[in-house]
């Protein structure tokens, strides 16, 4: 995996239990993640994986893309 181009101090990280969709293990871990890019105010959530680490990786990739689109769109 490539290193993120976002500065870590610019990203606020929050964890939460994923929304219930059924099953016995739902809501037992805080694998959902919310990332907020502080300079732009853009936010991304990811709860598609059971692993917090994998959700964070995906969320960082998504956030990086939307921040690039926002910055490029403003020029």
Domain of residue 62, CATH code? 3.30.160.20
CA distance 48 to 31: 9
Question: How far are the Cα atoms of 10, 17, 21, 22, 34 from residue 64, in angstroms, in the given order?
Answer: 12, 23, 28, 31, 13
Q: Of 75, 66, 3, which Cα lies nearest the Cα of 40?
A: 66
Residue numbers of the domain that contains 20: 8-74
2 inside domain: no
Residue 74 is inside which H or E element, if any? helix 52-74
Model confidence, pTM: 0.78
28 inside domain: yes
The string of pLDDT tens digits covering residues 3-59 is 668 899 999 999 988 766 665 555 567 889 999 999 999 999 998 888 899 999 999
Count up the domains in the chain and report the number: 1
CA distance 45 to 72: 22
């Amino acid at each position: 995996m490539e290193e993120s181009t976002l500065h870590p101090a610019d990203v606020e990280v929050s964890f939460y239990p994923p929304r219930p969709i059924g099953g016995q293990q739902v809501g037992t871990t805080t694998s959902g993640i919310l990332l907020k890019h502080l300079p732009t105010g853009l936010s991304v959530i990811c709860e598609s994986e059971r692993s917090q680490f994998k959700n964070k990786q995906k969320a960082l990739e998504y956030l990086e893309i939307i921040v690039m689109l926002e910055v490029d769109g403003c020029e």
